[in-house]
């Protein structure tokens, strides 16, 4: 009876445990739906506050239609898993929108009305091996028939999923796009080929320009403009060269009147090589840009002939053929990381990688009234180089060998804030004389202007009233200055693919993020900044990179010494053979003395030994890097499973010891039940 009661109790306990398990599972499926714990260091899977702010600020309903061929995707595991991830994220968006976000999940069956609607709304059809089409896209609409779409969710942009979704919702909330004025010498709207290539259908706008036009209304400002339109919210100036005084004055007055501006200067524009600008005269017009004398009035010093080099942040480029290595560090092309940017500024707080090429540097002027805040800086392993020197040094290894770091870092991007003074204390510059005027007309003395004529003279040709000259800023200035314009070049920060006629861009650096953050910050919109800033989750192995750079520097130093010894040995051997009238193959009519033959043999052996040392140097210096990489891989891949296995073995051993101890313990006598 005792054993039977215990068996029944155990069975009942198991049954109750099973019922409790299923009850908890069912209840949690409803109560805890969408709940999750994000244990990643960068909170990569947590909905950002910027997204929550945008969703809670919705005034009018927004409808999202998620077209996903779930049944068909069951044959493609990667797409099915990614589709589930997108759907779950959209459900979480809906939960934060307070009823203003309507979500429709549609599984378009072949030859159905849902399929026709997906195609009509711009969702791409992906043909499968069965002949049916797979749909995986999103269409959003607002109350005023505005429409935005993601034609296809490419897995290459999986790490940017939240930004893409939130940006779509954000665009649907805008009744009018903010106006961005663009004064640029670069053909951002046409791409590398310029207007001619665009007219022939061969050019494409720079990706950053496309991103800007998707969020802002962009108005091009002429480089000889004499005023900035009043409705411009933010002005972006890119690589200004040889601006006339009237344009400089217009920029000066725009800032003093409270206008916000972001400026991209460049002492060494790499884009000129592909835009067809000759590389000769590297510091001449078109190659370097400046905004003198405006920078001085803003409390900033900048030398357009100086380029910043940083050995610790040098990008890897294809090495010279004679170097014997596939890649070299190019110290004037920099890949700046999160440690190099301001953590307390919304523009750069979480930038993970920023690629620049031939960048300059800004310095605060002594006694300036403005506040100089560094946004992007180099490391202390930096130095400055003359731009002309870069033009004549075609081997990156030569720059590494001659590199001598200064004990300071250099500011590549800065924020300038505070009250500023005008760069034109004497008032507007004199009017430029029209060169098309005839000599006769120039000799004529104009009659004195009437009061009406004077009033008309104070008007622009387009009817805009000339504002009164400002000597000081009416409100504190807010400027962002960047000493590089090559960051707009797609080659430095993005990879592009063509999928079903649609250009898919996959960022490899945060150049676009930085530009968009800066413009949006000056526009006063900060909600999207956190999304872009957290898009990339790369965590570079800085220890390996630093060890590799040290190995490269040591290799180059030893390589230079051994190559010099090799050259000297070859020269002495050639001179000795020439004097003796012989070659490597033997004498040519002149008998060598035993000493000469011994000397030639010694030189030949030394030559072979030097070449062997040269090969061994590179091999040996890579040993530490390979061992460190092996340790890192072991820790990341095998260490955790090994620790879990050891813990399981130890736990099993402890349990076995306890069980053995209980079995060996003496059994105390008990009273019989009879």
Domain segments of the chain as ranges: 49-172, 176-303+358-378+407-426+469-538, 544-621
Higher per-residue pLDDT: 367 or 38: 367
Rounded Cα gap, residues 12 and 587, in angstroms: 105
**pLDDT tens string 447-506:** 555 444 444 444 444 444 456 899 999 999 999 999 999 999 999 999 887 766 667 888
pLDDT-based confidence at residue 621 (cuts at 50, 70, 90): low
Q: Is the CA virtual torsion 22, 27, 33, 38 positive or negative?
A: negative
Give the model confidence (pLDDT) of 181-238 as tens digits.
999 989 898 887 767 766 666 678 899 999 999 889 999 999 999 999 999 999 999 9
- Confidence bin at 163 (pLDDT 50/70/90): confident
The CA distance from 434 to 447, in Å, is 18
d(CA 260, CA 520): 11
Which three-class secondary structure state does DSSP give residue 494? strand
Alpha-carbon Rg of the chain, whole angstroms?
35
Look up the CATH number of domain 49-172. 3.40.30.10
Q: For residue 639, what is the DSSP state?
A: I
Which pLDDT belongs to residue 120?
Answer: 92
DSSP letters of 319-346? PPGGGSSSEEEEEEEEEEEGGGB-TTST
pLDDT greater than 60 at residue 534: no
Within 10 Å of residue 220's Cβ, how many Cβ atoms? 12
Sign of the Cα torsion 449, 453, 459, 460 reads negative
Proportion of the chain above pLDDT 70, given as a percent: 72
Q: Is residue 148's pLDDT more than 50?
A: yes
Q: Are 93 and 51 in contact (CB under 8 A)?
A: yes
pLDDT-derived band at 40, boundaries 50, 70, 90:
low
Which one is predicted more confidently, 616 or 295?
Answer: 295
CB 221 within 8 Å of CB 236: no
Query: Which of 267-271, 335-339, 560-564 tops mean pLDDT?
Result: 335-339
**What global pTM score does this model have?**
0.66
Is 449 or 654 the better-scoring residue by pLDDT? 654
CB atoms within 10 A of CB 46: 14
Q: How far apart are CA 330 and CA 19, in angstroms?
A: 66
**Confidence tier at 344 by pLDDT (50, 70, 90):** confident
The mean pLDDT of the chain is: 80
Average pLDDT, integer, range 357-383: 95
437: helix, strand or coil: coil
Mean pLDDT, to the nearest integer, of 47-72?
A: 92
Q: Looking at per-residue confidence, does 282 or 346 come out higher?
A: 346
The pLDDT of residue 132: 85
**In whole angstroms, what is the distance from residue 556 CA to residue 621 CA?**
11
pLDDT of residue 451: 47
8 A C-beta contact, residue 331 and residue 309: yes
pLDDT of residue 416: 96
90-121 burial string, b = 16+ CB within 10 Å, else e? bebbbebbeebbebeebbbeeeeebbeebeeb
Contact 528, 160 (CB under 8 A): no
- Pseudo-torsion of CA 465, 466, 467, 469, nearest 10°? -170
The pLDDT of residue 448: 54
The three-state secondary structure class of 113 is: helix
Q: In what order do the strands lie in the sheet with 314-318?
A: 314-318, 327-337, 353-357
Kindly tell me if the per-residue pLDDT of 444 is higher than 70: no
pLDDT value at position 456? 46
Q: Are 449 and 332 in contact (CB under 8 A)?
A: no
Tell me: pLDDT of 441 over 80.
Answer: no
The whole-number average pLDDT for the span 169-186 is: 90
SS3 at position 488: helix
């Amino acid at each position: 009876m005792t054993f039977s009661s215990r068996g029944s109790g155990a069975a009942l306990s198991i049954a109750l445990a099973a019922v409790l398990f299923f009850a908890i599972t069912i209840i949690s499926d409803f109560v805890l739906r969408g709940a999750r714990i994000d244990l990643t260091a960068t909170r990569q899977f947590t909905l950002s506050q910027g997204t929550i702010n945008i969703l809670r600020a919705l005034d009018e309903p927004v409808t999202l239609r998620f077209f996903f061929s779930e049944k068909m995707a069951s044959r493609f595991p990667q797409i099915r898993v990614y589709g589930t991830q997108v759907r779950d994220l959209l459900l979480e968006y809906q939960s934060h929108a307070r009823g203003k976000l309507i979500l429709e999940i549609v599984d378009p069956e072949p030859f159905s009305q849902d399929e026709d609607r997906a195609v009509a709304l711009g969702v791409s059809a992906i043909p499968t091996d069965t002949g049916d089409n797979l749909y995986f896209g999103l269409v959003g609409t607002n109350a005023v028939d505005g429409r935005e779409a993601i034609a296809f969710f490419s897995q290459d942009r999986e790490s940017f999923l939240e930004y893409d979704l939130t940006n779509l919702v954000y665009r649907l909330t805008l009744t009018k796009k903010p106006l961005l004025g663009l004064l640029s010498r670069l053909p951002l709207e046409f791409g590398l080929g310029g207007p001619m290539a665009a007219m022939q259908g061969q050019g494409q706008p720079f990706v950053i320009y496309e991103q800007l036009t998707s969020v802002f209304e962009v108005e091009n400002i002429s480089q000889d403009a004499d005023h900035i339109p009043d409705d411009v919210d933010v002005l972006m100036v890119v690589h200004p060269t040889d601006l006339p005084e009237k344009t400089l004055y217009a920029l000066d007055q725009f800032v003093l009147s409270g206008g916000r501006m972001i400026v991209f200067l460049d002492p060494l524009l790499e884009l000129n090589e592909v835009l067809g600008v000759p590389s000769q005269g590297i510091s001449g017009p078109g190659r370097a840009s400046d905004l003198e004398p405006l920078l001085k009035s803003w409390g900033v010093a900048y030398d357009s002939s100086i380029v910043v080099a940083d050995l610790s942040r040098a990008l890897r480029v294809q090495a010279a053929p004679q170097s014997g290595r596939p890649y070299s560090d190019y110290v004037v092309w920099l890949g700046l990381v999160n440690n190099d940017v301001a953590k307390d500024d919304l523009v750069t707080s979480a930038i993970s990688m920023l690629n620049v090429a031939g960048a300059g540097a800004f310095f605060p002027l002594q006694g300036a009234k403005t506040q100089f805040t560094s946004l992007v800086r180099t490391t202390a392993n930096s130095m400055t180089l003359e731009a002309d020197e870069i033009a004549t040094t075609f081997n990156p290894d030569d720059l590494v060998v001659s590199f001598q770091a200064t004990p300071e870092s250099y500011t590549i991007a800065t924020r300038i804030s505070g009250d500023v003074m005008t760069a034109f204390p004497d008032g507007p510059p004199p009017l430029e004389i029209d060169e098309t005027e005839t000599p006769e007309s120039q000799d004529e003395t104009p009659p004195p202007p009437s009061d009406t004529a004077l009033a008309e003279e104070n008007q622009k040709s387009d009817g805009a009233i000339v504002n009164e000259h400002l000597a000081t800023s009416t409100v504190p200035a807010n400027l962002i200055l960047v000493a590089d314009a090559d960051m707009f070049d797609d080659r430095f920060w993005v990879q592009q693919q063509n999928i079903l006629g649609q250009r898919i861009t996959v960022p490899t650096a945060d150049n676009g993020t930085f530009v968009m953050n800066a413009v949006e910050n000056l526009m006063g919109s900060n909600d999207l900044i956190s999304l872009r800033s957290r898009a990339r989750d790369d965590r570079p192995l800085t220890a390996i990179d630093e060890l590799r750079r040290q190995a490269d520097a040591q290799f180059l130093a030893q390589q230079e010494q051994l190559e010099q010894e090799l050259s000297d040995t070859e020269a002495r051997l050639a001179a000795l053979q020439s004097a003796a009238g012989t070659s490597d193959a033997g004498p040519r009519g002149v008998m060598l003395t035993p000493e000469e033959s011994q000397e030639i043999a010694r030189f030949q052996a030394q030559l072979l030994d030097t070449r062997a040392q040269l090969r061994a140097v590179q091999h040996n210096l890579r040993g530490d890097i390979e061992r460190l990489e092996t340790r890192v891989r072991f820790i990341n891949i095998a260490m955790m499973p090994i620790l879990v296995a050891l813990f399981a073995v130890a736990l099993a051993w402890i349990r076995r010891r306890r069980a053995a101890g209980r079995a060996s313990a003496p059994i105390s006598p008990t009273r019989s039940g009879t």
